[in-house]
Every structure is written in structure tokens, then in C-alpha cells.
Structure 1
């Protein structure tokens, strides 16, 4: 495992970290026993940062994290998110009363007195232009309820606006072979301000594992079934906003580039880590074998320049027109 500095916090975190959405249950059925085995395996692989949220399984994911902390003695970081419990999910809901209540609930779920890092959970764009929201977070830091805060965003515009607030420590943004725009401007600005970057949805909801076919099916509880066109939340969260069939075609174009002995998923994760602005990628996993394979991507050799250029050409040919201008 490799490690990079997490912004200005001083944390040294694994370049392959753990996204805990899947173990909450929004990616098909999961058992708590297998989820815990997966989390233990992640620690065994050297992963030391776990990203969860209060809405993942309505707190189920956070509670599993609390169990992991109780069962293991070594130090690791648990970061969570707040805001998506709002219904309706509107900018005005990001107020002192609601944010405080969300933090209090996560403190209880995680069985702790202070949250290490809380991220606003993909709020409406208007929130980033509302300084009062970030003043509330500053107050929660002063009160000792949270140590640091950051944001999880949908759009590059939101990321650029968020890092204008001096205490924003991290930005979580969709970045993968099918979503390359963040590297153009945002990454350089984040580096300049020493802001940590978490690459979320790194495998484009599994498309970049190379395991799907036109006949693949998904459970009714899986967002890859019910949110392909943004029916329930932002379309960009599902397959990175790429049309499923187009994504399959792009994967086939990428397949010959995968290094011998590596999987398509490992190749896709290693591509993300080629940019030093990225602090970590946070793929999800529901089984120990998945997290072991993900973790191994950190130790793959650098991808050759020619391979990087070919990946860009495939993006330009298949993907750019669908996603580049939208997020």
C-alpha cells in the first residue's frame, strides 16, 4: 500500500481507501457479517481511511464502522457525510438546526465524541454560495463535535467554489477514466491550496471493472437499476452519467491496454493515482476478495505515457460528448 498526505490535516492515508456506500445496502443486498469481514480485510491490506455517510443504509454503514473500531486496535480514519437526509433536499435545509442534528446522529451511530471529518453531501449548488453554512461548520469545530470538514460535490464549479472557504480541508469528486474534467483546472487549484482530493465513483459504478455485459442485470434495490437516468438523484452518480451501452463499448476499447497480470478495475484505479493531486481513490467493496483486489492497485507500476494518451483518446471518442460539459 502507498500513502499520501491528506491536505493540511497531516494525516497519511492509503491511496486506495474504502467507500462504504455499498455496505449500506444501496448496491443490492448485503449481510453485516460479510460487510464486517470486508472491513477487516481492508485494514489487513493497509487501508486506513473509510468514507461513509449518514444515509448509507439509514445509518447502517456508520454503525458497522463503529463496530470495526471496537474490534480493531490500530488507528484508522472514519469520515462521514451529512445533508442527504433532507427531504426535500433543498439549499435552505442546510441550516444550523439541521446540520447540528445530523452531526449529533452520526456521533451516536459512530459511538464517538468527535467526528474526524464531516463532508457536506452533494448539496445544491446554491449552498456553496452561502457563507453562513460554512460558519455553522466552523462553530461545530469550535464546539469539538467535528475535527475537520470538507465537501462532496457533483460539479467542478462547486468544487472550485468550495475551496475558497479557508477551512474546507477536502473535496470528494467523481473522477475516473470516464470523468476526466476535474483534472483540467480544479486539481491544480486544490493542490495550490493544499486541499485533499478523494476520487469517488472511481470504477464508474462497476462499469470499469470490465465485468458487465449487455445482459447484466441489477437488483431492484440497486441504483444501477433505478437511477440510470437520474430518477432518484443526480444521474452522474450512476455509471458516471455515461449511457450504459456506450460505457460497455468504451470498456472494450480500453481492455487491450490493461497490463498483464492486472485486472481492468486495478488498471482503472491506477490511472486515477497517476495524478499526484489525488489523495486517494475510494472504491467500494462488499466482499473481502473485492477489497483485496482494489488494494493491490496501489502497488501497480506507473502507466506508460503512451497508454495515458490512448486512454485520453478513447475518452474523447466515446465519452466526452456525454459528460464533459455537464459535470
Structure 2
């Protein structure tokens, strides 16, 4: 396992982090005893960075970590959770709340479930542009560390990928220490630009969805994708058809690169942008071990990365989830981004 510091936080994290949401029903069901064993196995393989959220199965994603490692074991690992969805309201879908009273209370509840205080990293979960422009929100962010709820505070952007404007606003504030976003071969922007912007400011970068919902590691077929009922079914209509079409070209480019499809997808994320940690989802030991072994492979050569970027550029305008606003910002500010090294 490789390790690096998450931005300027001082947190030493494994390059491969474990996405606990894969064990909470969002990617199909996993028996609790199997989930606990998989989490412990992940630590034995060298993973020390575990990413979850309070909203995952209404707190279960946090409770699961405490059950797997216990209070003493939780001190060994780096835990990142997310707050901002008020699942306590029992409304469907849960409303987003970012007011001071709620965020402080939600942080306390997360600490109780995780049997850990302060939490290593609390990420504000999918805040809107309106929230990010509100100065009272940033004062609340400061209170999370000042009052001992979190060692560090970051932001997880989403659920959509068209979030470059969000990143630009939050990076203007010096209070954010990490940023999490979608980044993979099929969804390269605005992730690549966000990563460069964040890294230049010493902000930690966490990439998620490295396998594009199962397309890039070939863990799902198009027929299966059309019948999904879990979290992956939230993709816009037609996205999987588009993704498999693009992947047919991507696969040819990667044919002679070493590793499995899933490993090659991870190498792209790690080799093509300044990413501190990439969050993987795995429901069994073999798949998790395969992902970790990607770190033992040689980096993708620049020519391959360049060609994969060209394929993305060629097809992105056809994507049902095209990040139109982000691409427009990038085109408008292209010369400025180039001058300052983005």
C-alpha cells in the first residue's frame, strides 16, 4: 500500500480508500458479518482510510465501522464522514440542511455512532452554490473544529458532476482542507481541473467513482445496468448506453497496458491528476485485493493518458450527464487557467 498526506491536513492516508457505502445497501445488500470481515480485511491489506456518511442507511455506514474496529481500533484508522442530509426528519428524500444548529448536532450524532471524537475528517455533503456563498456557513465550518467535533473539515461535491463553480467558490475560502469529487475515465471533467486547483492550494483531493458505476472494471453488463435498482440506477436515462459505447474505444487503448480493467481504471485516476486518495467500492475480498494491487503496476504512459483524454473530449458532448456549465467555465477561462498552471 502507498500512503500520502491528505493535502495540508497532516492525515497520512492510504492511496486506496474504502467506500463504506458499498456495504450499506447502495450497491446491493451485504450481510453485516460479511461487511465487518471485509472492513477488517481492508485494514489488513493496508487500507487506513475509510469514507462514509451519516445518511448511508440512516447511520448504519458509521455504526458499521465502530462495530468492525471498536473504539480502540478506530484510533488506528482515518475516518472521513459526511453530514448535511437530514435523514432524521424521516422525509423521502431527506432534505439538505446546513444551518449551524443542525450541522453541530449531526456532528455529535456521527461521533457517537463512530465511537470517535474528534472525527478525523468531516465533509459537508453536497452543499449548493447558495450555501457556499453564505458567510454564516463558513463560520459554522470553523466551529466544527473549534468545538472539537472534527480534526479537519472538507467538502464532498455532488451528487451531480457539474460542480466546477462550486469548487471555485469553496477554494476561495481557506477553511476547507479537502475536496471530494467524481473522477474517472468516463467523467474526466471537471474532476481533473478541480484536482489541479485544489492541489495548488494544498487542499486534499479525494476521487470517487473510479470505475464509473461498474463499466470500467467490467463488473456490470449493459443489460444488467438497465435493470439496476440500487444507487447506480440514479444515472440519467441513456448514460449507461453512452458509457459502454465510449468504453469500447477506451478498452482498445488500454489493451496492452498491464493489469485488469479495474486496475487500469484506477491507474488512470492516480496517474492523470494530483489525487491524494481514491475511494473504491468492493463487496468481496477478491475484488478489493485486485484494486489494491493496482498500486504495484507501473504508471500509465503519457501517450495513453493523452489518448484517453482525446476520447473523452470527443464524446463528452453526447453524454446525458454532460457537465455543461463546468465545460463552459473552462472554455471561458482557458487562457487564465493555463497562465496559473491549471
Q: TM-score, normalised by structure 1?
A: 0.89
Structure-1 separation of matches of 2:54 and 2:227: 22
CA apart distance, 1:45: 1.5
Residue 143 of structure 1 is aligned with which of 138, 142, 147? 147
**For the residues of structure 1 that align with 2:34 and 2:67, how far apart are their CA atoms?**
13
Once the 2 structures are TM-superposed, how far is the Cα of residue 212 of structure 1 from its aligned partner? Answer: 2.5
- For residue 290 of structure 2, the aligned residue among 271, 288, 293 is 293
Alignment map for 1:103-182 (pairs within 5 Å): 103-154=107-158, 155-182=163-190
| Contact 2:215–2:221 (8 Å) recurs in 1 | no
Verify: 1:190 aligned to 2:187, yes or no. Answer: no
Tell me the equivalent position of 2:259: 262
Shift in Å, 1:136: 1.0
Question: What is the aligned partner in structure 2 of residue 302 from structure 1?
Answer: 299
Partners of 2:74 and 2:146 in 1: CA distance: 28
Q: Secondary structure at the match of 2:222?
A: coil
Please tell me whether residue 29 in structure 1 is matched to residue 29 in structure 2: yes
Classify 1:140/1:212 alpha carbon distance in 2 versus 1 (closer, same or farther; 3 Å).
Answer: closer
Residue in 2 that maps onto 1:253? 249
How many residues align? The count is: 314
Q: Which whole-Å CA distance do the structure 2 matches of 1:27 and 1:214 have between them?
A: 16
Distance (Å, rounded) in 2 between the aligned partners of 1:16 and 1:149:
20
Contact 2:82-2:123 at 8 Å conserved across structures: yes
CA shift, 1:259, in A, is 4.4
* Superposition CA RMSD, Å: 2.2
User: Structure 2: how far apart are the matches of 1:314 and 1:320?
Assistant: 11
The answer to whether the 8 Å contact 1:54/1:85 transfers is no
Contiguous gaps of at least 5 residues in structure 2? 327-342
For the 8 Å contact 1:180–1:324, the answer to whether it is kept is no
Aligned to 1:81: 82
Which one is further off, 261-270 or 211-220?
A: 211-220
Q: C-alpha distance in 2, partners of 1:165/1:318?
A: 34
Paired residue secondary structure (1:274): helix
Q: 1:284 to 1:28 in 2, by over 3 A?
A: same
Paired residue secondary structure (1:199): strand
Residue segments in structure 1 that go unaligned for 5+ positions in a row? 231-241
Query: 2:222 is matched with which residue?
Result: 214
Asked whether the 8 Å contact 2:49–2:77 carries over to 1, the reply is yes
- Tell me what 2:7 maps to: 7
Q: Could you list the per-position Cα deviations for residues 249-297 of structure 1 after superposition, in whole angstroms to 9, with x for gaps in the alignment?
A: 2222222314465111110111000145210110111111221111111
Higher relative CO (Cα under 8 Å, sequence separation at least 6) belongs to 1
The TM-score, its normalising length taken from structure 2, stands at 0.85
Distance in 2 of aligned mates of 1:19 and 1:72: 18
Separation in 2, partners of 1:48, 1:258: 32
Matched residues in 2 for 1:58 and 1:259: separation? Answer: 44
Q: Deviations over 1:21-75 (max 9, x none)?
A: 1111111111111111211121122111000000111111101111222284872
User: What is the rounded CA distance, in whole Å, between the counterparts of 1:36 and 1:114 in structure 2?
Assistant: 23
Deviation at 1:199, TM superposition (A): 0.3
Contact 2:74–2:116 (CA<8 Å) still a contact in 1? no
Q: Who is 1:48 aligned against?
A: 48
